[in-house]
Each structure stands twice: as structure tokens, then as C-alpha cells.
Structure 1
């Protein structure tokens, strides 16, 4: 899928103690069913682009997530498992156990696991103060975290801390001085081994937020460097089983064993291979696939399995397809467009177009039914609020019903629609646009297809308030990947459908705004339990689809491939790749 934002797969978009750090092992049932671990060797990874940021406080791509897994740790994390439901359930990491939560659901108390050490000289135990520092760094004025809103929305005083921090000098000394002189109201190191976090409201997804790499601790040494600056990138400090031995931007990343890491203090990672060599600059997915099949490399860094190779790979033990949870792509309506006498502001017109799209044809463009799941609701399978009964515009076979579309348009008193339809020229986007345009044509709707670069698609069309209001676009086909799975309404429904968030650069592209949906969002976000939140998200899902601000199309599953050397290949849904800390080489 490439080096893309976690939350938007098109736009921008772990368990069992086995081998000790000294190299010994025990015979355990492993998450990938891989047999007895064989330590040693160099895992070879090849691909195209660099990480967006090396600093975990700001890194926001799927490849960065997989890299972070090797050298950073969080209080809680996700386990390694090829069972999707297990892989999206939060488990303790640096914390000894899941936190104690106060009776009002707002105070979380974490106890730090002993034996988790920074690879400093001498090695040093991680402390609660390191986690306080890590949370503060999210709000720094030089490179604030792309996920900052998750923390400002939930942690007491985080928004005020962020606002004040933006006025601080953008130097290492200025940043360090501000962090020393200012506190986040809701975050406190009770002692070296106890961290207390107070929320503004109950939030059943708070542990999911704390499991993101953004919430990594930061050693005091990081105060010497501007966040994610060149000096930082050459002076990273590790808590995980590996440390960064060599980083050359855009060229190579070498990971070597971290001698300070202790298997007994890490319930989710292992240290089987000696080295992980990541070679960048290979822009061809076909060449990467050839290297893997020939055994010259072991894993792809960011290049997808070529669609043309999938039929040939069926039955190959190195080929796997894993469940995804995305709206990728979906069709969004510009509800602000003045075109066609503001026809798209009419819910009946949007409902009619929902019947038009042949979703199976689009699934075929992306490799067919094994690689794609047709979606009928605003929330895809694998995300909280998914409801298989929400399918108000489903057509048998998912092939579209142009006659129904024409009838509904006539009932709405609309004819001769001409829709401005920008699309990206990269990947399969042109084929998707042509397929949808053909479906709309059968309904009597003309599509004015506008070829764009990925940047222009968002910057000059979908995410531009002025261009949206001018009617420069009527429909578009973006995609969305959540930042995490399971209890993730904050990462799906909020960015796509909360009308209060509409502004320049918004991902609520069509400016959809229903106060009743917004009220359900608030109830879901402040629900005390995941089950209570799920009920509100399901209500929101049904209400959104009744309004038809989008046409959901497919959720893409993830094809992966590894060389024959790779053993115990365990998939990580959040990185969409095999977890480097689980595998060994045969």
C-alpha cells in the first residue's frame, strides 16, 4: 500500500515470552504456529519510501508503525496474532497490567513494569516521568503529532497545554524549558513507577489511544534535540528488542539487537533475528515481488503484492490475505455544491445514486472478492458500530440497479445531472472513476472526469472549503483507513461525519452535518464501556446512511507475501505487514 497515513489508505490514509535476550529459548505455542525459534541471521526488507517521521511522537504511516514496533514501547499495545479479533485487543506492555480505573471512569493509574530499560550507558529503567515527557512532546510547536487531537479530546488540560506550547521558541532549548515549566493538568507521575492520567470525560477507547506509537515515552536525552530533527534521527534511544544502528534518509535503515532489552520484561515482542536491514528506493512493486520470490529479500517494506501476481500466488505458502477494515474507496458527495441547482443537497438524489454503483465491478479492479469485502454501511466490518443489517440501498449481487436510480431521480424531479468528478491518476483510481462514471451514465447522469495528482485531488478539490463551495467538484472517490481497529469510532465516524469539524483540510469532505448524528457521536465518545459505545455508533451508522452523504463501496483486505526463509509470520493489522519481532529465519 505504500508509505501512507495510517488513517487514510489513499490520501495522505505481539505475544508470548519465548527467547531470552541471551539467546536461549523455550518451546511455546507461538502466535504464528511456527515451531521452535531459530535465532540469528539478517532479515532483509526492501521497498520504496522512507518513514514520514522517525520520531514516534509524530510518525504517522503504516511503515513507521511497523518500525516503531521494533524499538519503541507503550504502556499498552496490541498483541501479535493472526486472529484479527485477538490482534485488535489491547494488552499490557510497559505497564504491569491494564490500568486501575476510578469509579467515575476518568482516572487511569498505570504501574510501570520493572526491567524495561533504555539502551543508555549504563542502561536505565524507564519511569513514569518518561511517559509524561512523551505526552508533552506530542504538543511541541515544531512537529506536533498528527494524532494530537486524540489526546486533546480526552486528557484533562491537554488542549490548554497544546495551545500554550505553540507560542514557545522552536528550538531544543526553548522546547525543553517550556516542558519543564509547564504541566498537563491531567497527567502526573505519582512516583517513578506510577503514572496517573485524568480524562475530561469517560472514554471507552482511551486505552486504544494509549496503544498508538504516539504515546511512547521519551528519555530526558531527547530534550537536547528538536523533535524529529536531523540530530534526533541520529540519536534515537531504544526500549524495544532492536535499536537503530544506521539511518540514512531515503536509503537504508539498519536495526540491530538492543543489548539492554530483557525478554522477561516484554510480554509481546521477541529478538530472534540478529539484524533487520531495510533497503529503500525500489519503486517497482513487481521488482520487489521478484526479489521476494527469488529469496533475495524477505519482506516488502511498503510495496503491495501486485494484483497481476495474485492468481499465480494462490497456494504459495508465502502468500496470505488478511482481513482489513476500511472504506477504500468510497464515493463522497459535495453537499455544498451549487451545481445542478444544488441537486446533491437533496437526500433523494444521493439515495438514488447509492443504488447506481456496481460495487462488485470495483472490487474486481482491486483483485476480486478474496481481496475485497463489499460495504453497505458507513462503518466497515472490523470497526465498532458495524451492523450487517444497515444496508438500505443494497442490490442483490451488489451490481447496482440503474432502473431504480432513474426512477428515484424522476421522483425527485431531477434530470440531466452533470457531475464534476475529479480522480487521481495514480494506482487504480482512474479505473474506479471510469467504472462509477459508467454506472452513473446508465442512470442518465453525465460525469465530467477531471484527472488530478493525489495532492491536488485533496488540496484543490475535496479538502478545499472554497473550491467545494464553488462547485469545483460534486463527487469524488477518497479512501479511509482507521488509525486502529475495534473500538475506533473516534478514528472513523468522527473524522468523516462529524459536521462540527468541517474546516479547511477537513476529511469530512462533503461537509455533512446532522446535529442528531453529532449528538450520538458525543454519547459514544463519552460512554463508559465499549459495549455502550457500540450501541451509539450503530445508531449513528444507520442515521448516516439514511442521509446518504456517501456511497460505501469496498473494504480492502490485505495481500502479503514473504520469502521461504521467513518462519512464524505473524500479521499486524495496524502496520499491514508481518511483525518483525515475531519471526525468525529458516
Structure 2
């Protein structure tokens, strides 16, 4: 019965838009005559650099939005201010959507044939076509030992032979670009092959109803042969990105700025998802204050925020401003993750009873005020947020008025015999993350737990602090408040549970930051992946969610919408939830 009711809640996503939105607002900013204008410089201002610039390694919404401008995938999603229109998978470099009817999906649903469209070219000298072999290289790079993709688990569990390929790749010298290139040249795997220059064939371990969603992920972008010259995502690589999209990175100063200009060989007729209007995109980093960013946009010295939401204090006065919008991005953002591998406090966070006690500490009502009130966020008590496959409304650790229960927290901690806990708590410096960390620290203090707050800026929060197992094992951090926006919407159960909680995927670059590993959850993941249909898969995802919450692997905090604001110059502003921002390729300047 629970599974049936849960399916009813998540079927489609039609009910989603009524959840948070007190203000949809914002429109698309089209001019009255509806004509887009060419030229000008779009000025984007924000805080931190992306954690990875290499398309194979990207793992954050900001990086997803950036690589969309210069790295194309077989399939993708179209930006829209109607959430439902952003959900369907659409062709990008692929000519068409594979189906059993058109013969591109085999009768056993384990073979997919994808044909590439004509006219897609690299901005090399001389320019050359993007080939099927470039896409094969992209998939092989997911397992590179220098900067492995956090999303590789999706494909290792889906594509034939990829698991063995990745295991072998792990023994290659991560600092030797030639050795890395040689491994890829001399090895391959059955799961993805180039039949000819314009035809790819994928072979799956078992049918996967979400496989086309996987092929729309930014990490599956084609990779040119030039990438074999560099250690993946190294400083040298970042200065030599190659483009097959509408823009190219012309100048990159790490942690300071990006300048994007036109890719001269891109053709609008070969790209059904992107456009190109502004002559340049200037991204300026280093501004940690949302208030300052907002001030610049309102004064007209900047056009869009890079990684800063609209300041909470500004929201009431902006509600009727057509340049302001609250956009749906159903997510678990932020959530509190426990480093279960930390040796500090005599390994206390490895004790489920300790984590269960700390579940009662957090005052979610205070966090909602920090991010902008109930029109922007609602309290979350499950791993899977509403509007995602496998969601069911359950609160395992209820507190009065969502305000936390420090007395119960103290009582349960006392029963564990682990008093006097002291937790290292790194936090992101952009947006309101410092205020969120300070609020949680106060909650823990009321529970008798000390915290050591440390700012973590420059893009290192995800790229090294949380995703480096050695740091976790050394106790460099104990708790943190990352966020998770699903990699896709619709049939997306695995886009939350698998990357965050599959203990078998724990390792360098993993998004299972706390090192959580429960064989029962791993088995439920496998059951969901092999389920005969999406509905039965959703039932397994919900069971996994329940088990993870019983283990108190994380403290879900908020399902938070994205607040956006644009300057008066900006038109053609269309939102893409998986990037938590507007599609930069469609914006034009009036």
C-alpha cells in the first residue's frame, strides 16, 4: 500500500509546481517585438570557481551550466520557465531519440544505436567533425585515475564491461598523461563502441528505463583527441579546453574569471538545444556577498548572479519585480552529512545511535527564514525530495514546529555514553551557507556538542575537502552541509540514492561524502536498477530512503527553490533546473 501511494505522489511531476511557489515571476524577459538582439557582453558575477572544469568530472550545478556552453552531449534538455518542458530528453548531437519502433533500441532493450547529426565540429585548427570515437573517448575518461567522474557509478552499473575497464584504469599513474592516454588507446569495453564515424552502439548489462537520461548528463560529452595530451582536469587541461558548442573559453584565470567568446565553427542549425546571441560572456568570481552581487545587478554593473541567490532581505521588496523569480529545483539542499569514517571523538560518528541523536538537534524553521521563507523552501525529512521518483512523506525524527528538540538530543546522546563531542565543520563561503552553518552550530551547541567552523572557499569544498576519502579517514572534517540537485527529473530514482549512498562506489571523487555503506541499501539499489518498470523501481528507492534515514546517514534539511534576478538588459532568460540557473546560450542583451 505504501508503495502504491508513493507512486501516486510521484507520477508525473504535475503537482510539483504548486509546492513552494509563492512567486513564479520573472517571465522570459522577451522584448515586446519578440526579436532577439545580437552582440554585447553578458556580465555574470559570483563567488567560487567550479570544482571541476573537465566535462568528464563536472559535478555541480554551476559546472553543469558552464560546460553546456562549450561541451555537447548526445541528448539533453531544453531550458524553459515551465518546469514540465525541461524534463523530457531531447536530441543534441544525436539525430533522433532511439525507440524500439524506429529500430534504434533492440528487442531485448539492451542495445541502443545512436546516429550523430551532421554539422557538429570542434573549434580546432583546422576544424573537424565530432565523431563517434570522440564520444567513446568521453565515456572512457569517466574512469580516469586523476579526476574520476562522480557519475561513473551510473554507467559502471549499466554498461557491459565498464566495471573491469575502470578497475584496470585505477592502476594507471594518475600524474602521467601519456600513460592515461595509452590505457584508453589500448583498452576499451563492450558497453560503448564506435561502429563508424557517425554511429555509436551501446550494450547494457540489463534493460534500463532511464538510460537516455544518463546519456544526457554533461559528463558524457564528446572528448576531442587533444584531451589525451593532458592529465584530466589538471591546471594545464583547464587552459586548453576545446569546444563544439556555441561558445569557447578564450581566457581563464583560476578563481578569478572566465571570458567566453563565439566558437567560430558552431552552426545554429546543428544545435537544437542551444542558441547564441551575446558576443561575450564575462564571469567574474571572488564576490562572496549575495548583497553586493544583488546591488551590482540592480545598479546595472552586472547582469546575472553566478552562484549567489537573491539575498533573503531583498525578497519582500522584489516580489512584484518582473526581473525576480522563484524557480523550482526539487532538491535536498542543503543537507547535513556525517563523516562516518572520522576517527575523531573515538569514532563517534560511525555509531548510528550518535547520529540518530543528532537528527533531533536541527532547527529547520530557522534555516527556512535564512533562505527566504516558506515561499522559497520547505522542511525536508527524507533523502528523496517531493517531485522525485521514490518520494514518500515520512518524518523519522519529528520535532515541535520543525524547531529541533535539544533536550531529546541530549538525552539520546547521554545514552550512547559519548559526551563532549567536538565536530569539525567546514562550510562554503558563498550564498547563505555561512549563516546556515552558524545556525546548525548553535543547534548543536544547545545539544552539548561543540563545533569548529572553518570557511572553505575557492571551489575546494566539493573538489577536495569532501570528495577525498583520505581527508575523511584522517578526520579533517566531521560534518558538512553540501547540497544535491538531482542530475535529471522524471524517472530519476537513481539520480539521488545511487550517487550519494552506494557504499561500493566510495572512493576518490565520490559524492558519497560520508563514506556510508550498508549492504541492505546496496542490495535495494541493485533491485531498483533491475526492476522491470519505473513504478517497481520507485518502490525500491523508497525502501532505500527509509533505511538510510533509519541509519541517520544524513540530516535532510530543506527542499529549496532557486531565487533569481536579472538586470534590465537581460532578455531570453530561460531556466534549466539541473543547472540551477538560466541557460547562458539563450540570453540576449537589449
Alignment TM class, shorter chain as reference: 0.7 to 0.9
Contact kept in structure 1, 2:427 and 2:455, CA below 8 Å? yes
Structure 2 partner of 1:113:
117
Contact kept in structure 2, 1:292 and 1:298, CA below 8 Å? yes
Contact kept in structure 2, 1:325 and 1:557, CA below 8 Å? yes
Distance 1:354 1:107, change over 3 A: same
Greater shift in the superposed pair: 79-88 or 333-342: 333-342
Contact kept in structure 2, 1:343 and 1:414, CA below 8 Å? no
**Match 1:287 to one of 283, 292, 312:** 292
Distance 1:68 1:342, change over 3 A: closer
Contact kept in structure 2, 1:256 and 1:274, CA below 8 Å? yes
Query: Could you report, residue by residue, the CA deviation over 1:246-281 in whole angstroms, capped at 9, with x for unpaired residues?
Result: 334444432222332222221111112222223344
Query: Could you report, residue by residue, the CA deviation over 1:452-505 in whole angstroms, capped at 9, with x for unpaired residues?
Result: 44469859999624649xxx95xx352331451324443422344344556798
Structure 2 partner of 1:447:
449
- Give the greater-gyration-radius structure (CA): 1
Distance 1:529 1:113, change over 3 A: farther
Q: CA deviation at 1:47?
A: 3.0
Distance 1:252 1:459, change over 3 A: closer
Q: CA deviation at 1:60?
A: 3.5
Number of aligned residue pairs: give it. 545
Per the alignment, in what secondary structure is the counterpart of residue 70 of structure 1?
Answer: coil
Residue 243 of structure 1 pairs with residue 244 of structure 2: no
**C-alpha distance in 2 between matches for 1:393 and 1:53:** 36
**C-alpha distance in 1 between matches for 2:184 and 2:273:** 31
Query: Could you report, residue by residue, the CA deviation over 1:423-461 in whole angstroms, capped at 9, with x for unpaired residues?
Result: 33665566546645665677xx42223334446985999
**Match 2:314 to one of 309, 313, 319:** 309
**C-alpha distance in 2 between matches for 1:400 and 1:321:** 27
Greater shift in the superposed pair: 266-275 or 37-46: 37-46
Structure 2 partner of 1:584:
588
Contact kept in structure 1, 2:68 and 2:245, CA below 8 Å? yes
Contact kept in structure 1, 2:242 and 2:248, CA below 8 Å? yes
Greater shift in the superposed pair: 376-385 or 494-503: 494-503
Contact kept in structure 2, 1:106 and 1:202, CA below 8 Å? yes
**C-alpha distance in 2 between matches for 1:54 and 1:352:** 39
**Match 2:375 to one of 365, 370, 376:** 370
Distance 1:192 1:462, change over 3 A: closer
Structure 1 segment 458-477 matched on structure 2, within 5 A: 464-465=472-473, 467=475, 476-477=479-480
**C-alpha distance in 2 between matches for 1:332 and 1:208:** 27
Q: CA deviation at 1:565?
A: 0.6
Residue 399 of structure 1 pairs with residue 403 of structure 2: yes
Residue 265 of structure 1 pairs with residue 264 of structure 2: no
RMSD, aligned CA: 3.7
Structure 1 partner of 2:219:
214
Structure 2 partner of 1:134:
138
Structure 2 partner of 1:5:
none
Residue 565 of structure 1 pairs with residue 569 of structure 2: yes
Structure 1 segment 308-457 matched on structure 2, within 5 A: 308-332=313-337, 345=351, 354=359, 357-387=362-392, 389-394=393-398, 397-400=401-404, 405=408, 409=412, 418-424=420-426, 427=429, 431-432=435-436, 435-436=439-440, 445-454=447-456
Contact kept in structure 1, 2:445 and 2:451, CA below 8 Å? no
Distance 1:311 1:507, change over 3 A: same
Q: CA deviation at 1:578?
A: 1.0
Distance 1:166 1:106, change over 3 A: same
Greater shift in the superposed pair: 322-331 or 497-506: 497-506
Structure 1 partner of 2:63:
64
Query: Could you report, residue by residue, the CA deviation over 1:379-424 in whole angstroms, capped at 9, with x for unpaired residues?
Result: 122432222x323444574334567x389859x9679954434433
Contact kept in structure 1, 2:329 and 2:485, CA below 8 Å? no
Query: Could you report, residue by residue, the CA deviation over 1:270-329 in whole angstroms, capped at 9, with x for unpaired residues?
Result: 112222223344444333222211112211223443333333333222222222333333
Q: CA deviation at 1:178?
A: 3.5
Structure 2 partner of 1:17:
none
Distance 1:185 1:301, change over 3 A: same
What are the ranges of 5 or more consecutive residues in structure 2 without an aligned counterpart? 1-26, 99-103
**C-alpha distance in 2 between matches for 1:343 and 1:571:** 39
**C-alpha distance in 2 between matches for 1:343 and 1:46:** 38
**C-alpha distance in 1 between matches for 2:371 and 2:349:** 31
Distance 1:296 1:192, change over 3 A: same
**C-alpha distance in 2 between matches for 1:219 and 1:344:** 43
Contact kept in structure 2, 1:463 and 1:507, CA below 8 Å? no
What are the ranges of 5 or more consecutive residues in structure 1 without an aligned counterpart? 1-30
**C-alpha distance in 2 between matches for 1:51 and 1:437:** 27
Structure 2 partner of 1:12:
none
**C-alpha distance in 1 between matches for 2:376 and 2:57:** 31
TM-score normalized by the length of structure 2: 0.80
**C-alpha distance in 2 between matches for 1:483 and 1:415:** 38
Per the alignment, in what secondary structure is the counterpart of residue 71 of structure 1?
Answer: coil
TM-score normalized by the length of structure 1: 0.80
Per the alignment, in what secondary structure is the counterpart of residue 101 of structure 1?
Answer: coil
